[in-house]
Amino acid sequence: MNPEPRPGILDISPYVPGESELEGDEPIIKLSSNETPLGPSPTALEAFQQTVGHERYPDGSARELREAIGTTYGLNPDHIVCGAGSDELLSLLAQAYLGPGDEAIYTEHGFLVYRIVILANGATPVIAPEKDRRADVDAILARVTSKTKVVFLANPNNPTGTYLPYDELQRLRKELPEQVLLVIDAAYAEYVRRNDYETGIELVATTDNTVMTRTFSKIYGLAALRLGWCYAPGPVADVLNRIRGPFNVSAPAIAAGVAAIADRAHMTKAADHNENWLAWLTENIRGLGLEVTPSVANFILIHFPDQDGRRAQDADAALKASRIILRRVTGYGFPNALRMSIGTEEENRRTVEALDAFVKSGGPSA
């Protein structure tokens, strides 16, 4: 007889990352994982390389990294917890605050990891509908019950690229019951250039029941090192430190993270590149007759007509024939859309050319 996992685990659909390989030896354009086309800061690479050959355990508290983050954002390092990507921190938060009989809310097209961590801890996922592919505060509040313990909110959201303005974020926190933990997942915050956007730092600083998670995987280009952090009220940070692994962040990741967050010029360069090409891609792909959801992040969601030979799966096949990989997002509730990360100038132009050829051909059935 096989061992029985806890209830909820077998209801989980394993997370499927963006594709990264195609058959054949010719180069590919991989725009499926929202990675920065500029790569990591040279100083971060140098710091990483300097750790090679040092085989002792890392600092279990990641003190140097927490202090670097605190200096950058004006935060108390004691309220910062680092992890192996923000995914680990989301998992730890669910582990700490959810159990059988509890409910946790996330939005209709929210990050798939939320459902996974909720079910993994025996709790019940509750989905709040979105409005115009954006989180709807009223819909979230309408689904709160006495069993609700956590609300997960990606802001900006993946894969839509839409965001909730700060006044709406404040309203959500104000109208949620005090016992509900609001987790603001701000993985793409560094890309957002809108006057009405705020990462969540102020809410964490002024409430006892809000947490903000961040990552080094996106604009900092350190996805391979698995590095993230969260800013939390003191009692929540204390809880996370009690249950996280004693050496959950590696020494190379700590060193690279400290160097990366200090290189503001590299981050600004990446954000500038993204802003320019986000606008260019949105305009040019719409010019092909395809719908693009307005995005503030480093990716766009491209919608295809629901017609034989012209659907997202057909576009995906045509792009792959041109050695270009975008992200299928069927699991997010968009069976007829592809998510495209912002790439280099050459990658962006080649992708638009391939999409243009696909549209003009009428699709594979034409």
Say if residue 327 is in the same domain as residue 346. yes
Give CA–CA dist 199/217, Å, rounded.
17
| Residue type at 223 in one-letter notation | A
Mean per-residue pLDDT, 260-282: 98
Average of per-residue pLDDT values in the chain: 95
Residues 283 and 332 occupy one common structural domain? yes
For residue 315, what is the domain's CATH number? 3.90.1150.10
Question: Partners of 30 in the beta sheet?
Answer: 325
Query: Could you tell me which of 118, 115, 73 has the C-alpha nearest to residue 94?
Result: 118
Of 1-10, 94-103, 135-144, 153-162, give the lowest mean pLDDT range.
Answer: 1-10
How much of the chain exceeds pLDDT 70, in percent?
A: 99
Domain boundary pick from 262, 282, 316: 262
Task: Note the pLDDT of residue 363.
Answer: 56
**Alpha helices in 244-344, H assignment, sequence order:** 251-262, 264-286, 312-321
Q: Is the same domain home to 30 and 168?
A: no
**125 and 189 in a common domain:** yes
* 8 domain-assigned: no
pLDDT digits (tens, 9 = 90+) for 101-119: 999 999 999 999 999 999 9
pLDDT score, position 365: 42
User: Tell me: the pLDDT tens digits for 152-208?
Assistant: 999 999 999 999 999 999 999 999 999 999 999 999 999 999 999 999 999 999 999
Domain-terminating residue out of 262, 286, 311: 262
Global pTM?
0.94
Q: How far apart are CA 128 and CA 107, in angstroms?
A: 5
Structural domain including 139 reads 42-262
Q: Is the separation of the CB atoms in 198 and 169 below 8 Å?
A: yes
Which of 231, 262, 293 corresponds to the end of one domain? Answer: 262
Please report, as a single letter, which amino acid is at residue 359: V
pLDDT above 50 for 129 = yes
> How many of the other CB atoms lie within 10 Å of CB of 124?
16
**Whether residue 19 has pLDDT greater than 80:** no
- Is 189 within the bounds of a domain? yes
- CB of 28 within 8 A of CB of 39? no
Reported as a single tens digit per residue, the pLDDT across 228-250 is: 999 999 999 999 999 999 999 99
Total number of domains constituting the chain: 2
Lowest mean pLDDT among 1-10, 26-35, 159-168: 1-10
Residues 167 and 300 in one domain: no
